[in-house]
Each structure stands twice: as C-alpha cells, then as structure tokens.
Structure 1
Amino acid sequence: MLEEIIKTFDDLIVIDKPVKKELEITRYLIKYRERPVLFTNVNGWRVAGNVWSTRERIANFLGITREELLHFIAKAMENPSSYKTVEKAPFLKNVTSDFSLMELPVPKYYPKCGGQYFTSAMVIAKDESGFVNVSFHRIMVRDEKTGAIRLVPRHLYAMWKDKAEHGEELDVRIVVGNPIHLLLAGATSTAYGVSELEIASKMSEMAFGRPLEVVELRGIPVPVESEFVFEAKITPELVDEGPFVDITGTYDHVRKQPLVVFERIYHVDDPIFHALLPGGYEHFMLMGLPKEPQIYASVKKVVPKVHGVRLTEGGAMWLHAVVSITKQHDGDGKNAILAAFAGHPSLKHVVVVDEDINIYDDRDVEWAIATRFQADKDLVVIPNARGSSLDPSATKSLTAKWGIDATKPLERKDEFERARI
C-alpha cells in the first residue's frame, strides 16, 4: 500500500493544512522537488507527489544500488514472469458508480493546462488473444464522468483503433497509486504480446521474493496494490485534449484524442491519490529510467565494456545522456554515440566518457569535456534526424543530434590521467 511505502521515507514532507488541487499542489511539489510530499487534505482527500523523484529512493526501496537500477530493469524486461491471481484486494472494499471526477483530487498543475489531469494513471487493457497491456496515459478531466486520453501510436492505441474501426468501445481499467515496480514496468517499451504485468512480476520477485498479485476485475487483471481503480471505456469519439505540460516543462498543443467514459470507481480505505508533477523529477525518473537499459544494450553491441548509462535531469531524462565505456579501439567513442542514438531514438545529445568519470556527477562529466574533448575532432553532428516530438526546438520532430566523444585517445591516455592520492 502507498501509505506503508511513504512512511518508510525519512525525508517525507507532510502538509497538514488544506491545499487546493488547482495550482497550489504544484507550488509545493516544485518547492520540495526531490523530496516526497504527502498532502493530508486536498478537497478532503490525501494526495502524494514526488514519491519516486530520485534514483536513490527508488533503488533503496528495491534493495539495490543506484548503479544497479539499469541492470535490474533490463533483467525484468528480458525475463518476464507470471503473475499470481488472487481473490481479494483492498481496493474492492469501496466501490460505487455514483461519483464525480470533478470531486476527486485530480490536480490542475499549470495555469494554461486544459483542465485537471490524471498524470500517474496506468491503463490496463486485454485484447482478443488474452494479451494484457499496461501503459501510462495522461487523461484530461472533461466533466463528472468523462475525460480525453492521450494515445500515441503504440500498443494501447492499436487495441483502441481495432475497436474504433468497428464502432466499438475498448474496455479498460485505469489504476492510480502503485508501487515503483509497477510504475517502472508500465513505462517500459516491449514487443506486442509481452505484458508489462509480467515485467512487474519479475521485478517483484527480484526485490521482494514474491510474484505480483492481481485480481480479475470483470475479466481484466488489476494489481492488488492499486489505491484507486476505475472501470472505463475508451470510445471511438474524438475530443480536444490539452494544452498539457509535458516532460520538458513546456506546453504540448491541443489534439483530437479519444473520449474515455468512467463507469465505476474502487478504492482502498482512506486512499492516497498519486499526483505526478508534469516536468518534475518523478516524471523524469518514470519516463527515463526504463530507456537507459535500451541505450546500454545498443551501445554494448558495438563496445564490449559499457559501465553505465544515465539520462540526465538537465535533459529532462529524455533528450540528453551520458555513457561510460572502456575503449578498446580508437573510434569506439564515436561508435558508442551512434549506438546510443539508435537505442533511444528520442535522444538528442550524448556524451561518451571513460570509466574513471562519474556519470552521476555533472561536474565530473563537464571536466571530461573540458580536458578530453576537441570540437574539430571529437564532435559528431547528425542533421535532420528524426527526434522527439517533446522537443520544442525540433521542426516537425526533425532535429540535429550531436554527440561528444570525451574519451582519452588510446595512444596518449597517460597524458590525460588526473592526479590522485
């Protein structure tokens, strides 16, 4: 349960006074950007934000080190395992179809947002073959029972499109308030047919020694640890969605997106609503961490010794990365740059460094650039490449990608060693 998790954090900030869900929540989450915040009274509900806003907090909860996170996620993605179906879940205690989305503590985060937004919501859907998909989707509240859901052309979009083309609705379960292994799994990119629930189950086995538990809720498996669960249908109808502040902290534009109808709400006793601040560090972690294993695997195909990958907070953990390698041949640094771009196509800028550089220390990385990089020899620029739609500087998602090879030349590497005691 989310409350039990939050109470283990020794840096928790508790806001006991009433807080408005419109804009006021945002001010606190920005003020305490790296610390978890629990609001005890947001329109009579409890709300938590910045829960997973640092690598260290995530790693500590999973019982691993910061450096092991990449390999932990990669292992779960490569070795998904079966989840366990049980009969009971705490959220089943409270259920009703008599509710209003407008009365829930769904925040409006920024002044120009199109409305209140579900930002931590994961959507669970099941296709005709029995494949269960779990993925993150922002949902803009429109009225008491409907919202506009952002679907990008991935798995849930394909499932919805198949139904919509036949004039049918897609039955889904929307879950809010889940532990980190479920959130990380929901943010992974897998082949169609590999369920994120099975990736979460593998993470649960590795971290806690037990599989993920789910209950069948009208034919769709739902994690028992969810705080809120909604039965809903994504309709063929398209409505305006946006503006919305995305991961770069800039406003995304208004689009036509599917209308989702909420039919029933379930929740645990005294639940905690998870408010995921758009463009905040928690947003960075949940989007970025599952991409680091992809970059790692891609670089490892061309350079045998890869020591670490970090998507940087300064690059919104989406557009900028640092990769640590041990060079075996001159040119390995440039090959690593190209492989990093292939591993995460949204990547715009990458710095490749030697194994003696701490990739989690921005000053150390900058020192490597200052002392081991020459722009006329070590800079790689790829113009007019397909980049990220989230980059406001890109033109129709076309961008100039650039990489910095800040590794030591092999024939002169002794000249680049820094003094140590």
Structure 2
Amino acid sequence: MAKDLHTFLGSVKEKPIYFETVKREVDPLSFETAAILKHLQQQKRNPIVFFEKVKAVNRGPSIFPLVDNLFATRELCALALELPPEKAGLALSLEFSKRENDKIEPVLVEKGKAPVKEVIIKENDVDLTKFPAGRFHEMDVGPYFTMTDIMRGEGGFYDVSFVKHLILDKKFMTVSLHYTIRKHLLYILEANEEKNRPTPIVVVLGHHPAFFLGAGALKELGNNDYETIGAFLGEPLRLTPSETWGEDFLVPADAEIVIEGEVIPHKREIQNPFGEYSGYYQPQCLMPVMEVKVITHRKNAIMQQVFPASSGHFNLGSIPKEGSIYNEIKKVAPEVTGVYLPHSGSGRISCYVSVKKRREGDAKQAGLMPFLLSGQIKYVVVVDDDVDIYNEQEVLWALITRLDLSRGVDLIKNMPRYDRVLIDATRPLDRPFPAKNTVPREVMERIRLSDYLS
C-alpha cells in the first residue's frame, strides 16, 4: 500500500501523546482551531489534532475534516521518516540530510487508480469557500491555505515549495511569492511572465508528512523535487495526469486534495497582514493571483494545514537545514558535534553549534559557516560539547558563564539582508577556567529511580 496521510494517521492515532480528536464543531475563520492549538502549545502538549467537524469559509459545514500539528514535535517528524522517536535529535537532522541527496524515480498511475481522482470538480462547481480555511492570528486579513505548491520549470522539472494562499473568492486566491525571499517558484513564474503566458500551478492540501518534509529539502533550482520526495517517502512517489494539462503536468496520485490552476501573468492583488513565523505580522503587499480550474480529492479526504508561528512551522524551517549545515561545517571544522536551529529563533533566525574544542579559533571557524549556508540565520552561538544544544537552558547557562565579551562576540557587517552576530560561548583553553560540576557518571548509570522510589 502506498504511503499517504491516512496510513500515517492510522499508525499514530492510538497513542494519545501523538494524537487528539476534537469532535465538537469548530470555526477556523473565527480563530477557534488556532485557539485550541495555542492552548495545547501553552500546555507543552503538541499532538496531531484532528478536527472532525469544521465550518467552511462560506459559513456552512465543510465536507472535509481538518488536521494540523503533524510536524509539531521532532519525534513526529522522526516517525514520518520511520525513525524511532529517540532519534529525534541530531540523528534526525543527519537522516534528513542523507535523504535530500538521494533520489527515487516516481511512477505513473492511471487516473482510474489514483485516489485523488475519486471526486473531480470543474468549471462552475469550483468553490474555494467550501473549504475549512481559517485565520490564525487576530489581524490576519482573511482565510489562508498554508501547505505546498507545485510548478514545472523549463526542462520539465517539478518544484515543490510551501506557499500560503489568501482566498479571494470562489475561484481566485493569491500566491505568496515574495521578491525578497526568492523562492524557486518565483523564478518559474517570472520566466513565464516575461513571455506573457500563464503559469500552471498545483496546490496540495494533504499527503503523508514525509511528502512535505521532502518538499522542505534544500535543493537547487532545477532539481526534480518529485524524485527527492520519493527518497523521503522511502518509495516511489505515485503520480497521475492532471485534469487541466494531462500528462504535461503530473500530480501526486495519493494526495488528499489537489487544486489545479493558473497564475495570471502580471496580475496582482493585496494580501496580508498575516501572522508569520517570526511572531510578527507580515505587512500588506501585492501578490500574484491564481485562477482555479479544477479541484480533485479523495472521497474521504482530509484537509491539512500548518499553524503559522507554531512548533510545527518552526520544525519545518529548522530540520531541513540542520543536517546540511552540520555536514558542511564538518568539512572545514571536524570538531563540530551538533547543530540546532531553536524554536526561540523561529527555527530559522538563530543557530546553536556544539564543538569538541581543541584550540582557540575552532569555535569561530565552525560558527561562521551557518551564515554562508542560510540567508536567514542572524545569530550563531557556539558552545562546548558538554552542553546539550537542544536544552536552551544549558545554552543560556554556557553563554552567561563562559562568554568573554571582550573577544567572544563578533559583529559581521555588510552581509545580505542584515548584519550577523557570532557568539563564542566555549570555555577558554589559553587560561585557567573552572571545571563543570558533575555527578559521577558511573553512579548515575548504576542508580535507577525505580529501585528507590515507588
């Protein structure tokens, strides 16, 4: 059986730590799903949340249930890649890095055997307001989809990226491609607009979580992302001809919901404000517009979303980068032992690096690399390998007790987007420094609490 969202949910839904169901009707447009997710987040609980009954944008009942939080913990991301939860630290990042360099050729499935073709909606029956799209933060201007888009570039490659869409009416929505971020999809759109032609686009609103983790892989423009996603699934991605373009544009056969459309050349509409990953509202701006041609979905389709500025959103930004950054640092600084992009930096803006320091200068050499590998990272903190970089309290302890302000802080000016800060919070090796308190390891390993506490 091919991997899809249903198979994954079936594997975790019997475990309350990973899965919760909301049976009472909720209204995403009135922030109710966001409030439930926020309450769980504040309680340090991050299960997948399945909303059985949801209102649609048009205020009627949605035919689709809604699911969120599939990426809310590193353990869930590990399970999506069939790793044990205890491998959710550096092992997960390195497995991600390994898979992003692998490829598995997709396979073609006849339309009649593709689950996503069980229901086909065309022409006047197309209505985006029947979806349970919602608002997430108080100033959000309207209902948004928050999953992935697919475009096909010159030469036939498929590019898959996370993109949000503001629903404008039954058939039209914005396509959030910012000129400052320069997603690959924007290059494809611009190439078509230069020739004054529409850009075919597909929106995927649900699939196995490994599909979306693969979409986050840091690949070059021109990479066939369908092949990369297959490596993350651990099996060939099944594709089927689209309704609009046939075999000229293949779509994921096992998706929950696929929206086919065209980006209208040179047309722009106002989008935002929208609460983004940084914890701040993205301001009003003009964005491209797509016209929906066809919607296809499974008979029992589930619509998937990602709650912006949540732990799942942060993990989708951090895990794809960590393994790649680690491997690149290792080439020039073999003493590196770990890389983590913490949630306090939205999984994108700050980076913690641990090193087994052997000489002065090791920390700075390792700490400079993340700036060169990610245009979003603004702060790098380097610590010794006796500090757990996944425990922010330990990182702050190292920064407060080990940082020498006179030589441990470097401001790097005139870099793209903004200046950067490198902090060396490692122990000095060229002068005396006290040893760290520890309980003897052999005693810690010998003592089991179950033997002493009832």
**TM-score, reference length from structure 1:** 0.91
Deviations 1:201-241 (A, max 9, x none): 11222xxxx22222232222222331100111111111112
- How far off its partner does 1:128 sit? 3.7
Give the Cα separation in 1 of the matches to 2:290 and 2:260.
10
- Give the equivalent residue in structure 2 for 1:25: 33
Greater C-alpha radius of gyration: 2
Which amino acid is the alignment partner of residue 32 of structure 2? E
Q: Is the 8 A contact 1:294 1:344 kept in 2?
A: no
Q: More displaced, 297-306 or 68-77?
A: 297-306
Q: 1:385 to 1:129 in 2, by over 3 A?
A: closer
- Give the equivalent residue in structure 1 for 2:422: 403
- Give the equivalent residue in structure 1 for 2:383: 353
Give the Cα separation in 1 of the matches to 2:399 and 2:279.
27
- Secondary structure at the aligned position of 2:156 is classed as coil
Give the Cα separation in 1 of the matches to 2:102 and 2:6.
30
- Secondary structure at the aligned position of 1:95 is classed as strand
Superposition map of 1:276-287 within 5 A: 276-287=306-317
Which amino acid is the alignment partner of residue 150 of structure 2? I
- How far off its partner does 1:419 sit? 2.2
- Give the equivalent residue in structure 2 for 1:212: 237
- How far off its partner does 1:415 sit? 3.6
- Give the equivalent residue in structure 2 for 1:316: 346
Superposition map of 1:64-103 within 5 A: 64=83, 65-66=87-88, 67-87=90-110, 88-97=113-122, 98-103=125-130
Q: Is the 8 A contact 2:206 2:304 kept in 1?
A: yes
Task: Select the structure that is richer in strand.
Answer: 1
Q: Aligned pair 1:186/2:205, yes or no?
A: no
- How far off its partner does 1:302 sit? 2.4
Give the Cα separation in 2 of the matches to 1:93 and 1:154.
32
- Give the equivalent residue in structure 2 for 1:390: none
- Give the equivalent residue in structure 2 for 1:264: 294
Q: Is the 8 A contact 1:182 1:197 kept in 2?
A: no
Superposition map of 1:54-69 within 5 A: 54-64=73-83, 65-66=87-88, 67-69=90-92
Give the Cα separation in 2 of the matches to 1:346 and 1:283.
15
Identity %: 27
- Secondary structure at the aligned position of 2:260 is classed as strand
- How far off its partner does 1:411 sit? 4.5
Give the Cα separation in 1 of the matches to 2:126 and 2:23.
25
- Give the equivalent residue in structure 1 for 2:363: 333
- How far off its partner does 1:285 sit? 1.1
- Give the equivalent residue in structure 2 for 1:15: 22
Give the Cα separation in 2 of the matches to 1:384 and 1:31.
41
- Give the equivalent residue in structure 2 for 1:376: 406
Give the Cα separation in 1 of the matches to 2:263 and 2:435.
58
- How far off its partner does 1:47 sit? 0.4
Which amino acid is the alignment partner of residue 265 of structure 1? I
- How far off its partner does 1:300 sit? 2.0
- Give the equivalent residue in structure 2 for 1:224: 253
Q: More displaced, 19-28 or 85-94?
A: 85-94
* Structure 1: gaps (5+ residues): 388-397
- How far off its partner does 1:46 sit? 0.4
Q: Is the 8 A contact 2:6 2:208 kept in 1?
A: no
- How far off its partner does 1:311 sit? 0.5
Q: Aligned pair 1:292/2:322, yes or no?
A: yes
**TM-score, reference length from structure 2:** 0.85
Deviations 1:97-126 (A, max 9, x none): 113111211112223212110112x11122
Give the Cα separation in 2 of the matches to 1:198 and 1:169.
25
- Give the equivalent residue in structure 2 for 1:416: 435
Superposition map of 1:57-206 within 5 A: 57-64=76-83, 65-66=87-88, 67-87=90-110, 88-97=113-122, 98-120=125-147, 122-152=148-178, 153-205=182-234
Q: Is the 8 A contact 1:146 1:262 kept in 2?
A: yes
- Secondary structure at the aligned position of 1:211 is classed as coil
CA RMSD of aligned residues (A): 1.8
- Give the equivalent residue in structure 2 for 1:391: none
Q: Is the 8 A contact 2:409 2:424 kept in 1?
A: yes
Give the Cα separation in 2 of the matches to 1:355 and 1:413.
19
Give the Cα separation in 1 of the matches to 2:153 and 2:390.
41
Q: 1:156 to 1:333 in 2, by over 3 A?
A: same
- How far off its partner does 1:200 sit? 1.2
- How far off its partner does 1:413 sit? 7.9
- Give the equivalent residue in structure 2 for 1:302: 332
Give the Cα separation in 2 of the matches to 1:360 and 1:194.
32
- How far off its partner does 1:305 sit? 2.7
Q: Is the 8 A contact 2:336 2:366 kept in 1?
A: no
Q: More displaced, 402-411 or 246-255?
A: 402-411
- How far off its partner does 1:412 sit? 5.4
- How far off its partner does 1:315 sit? 0.9
* Structure 2: gaps (5+ residues): 56-61, 441-454
Give the Cα separation in 2 of the matches to 1:81 and 1:245.
36
Which amino acid is the alignment partner of residue 134 of structure 2? P
Aligned length: 405
Q: More displaced, 291-300 or 354-363?
A: 291-300
- Secondary structure at the aligned position of 1:41 is classed as coil
Give the Cα separation in 2 of the matches to 1:106 and 1:301.
45
Q: Aligned pair 1:36/2:76, yes or no?
A: no
Which amino acid is the alignment partner of residue 300 of structure 1? K
Deviations 1:342-382 (A, max 9, x none): 12121111111122211111112122223322211211222
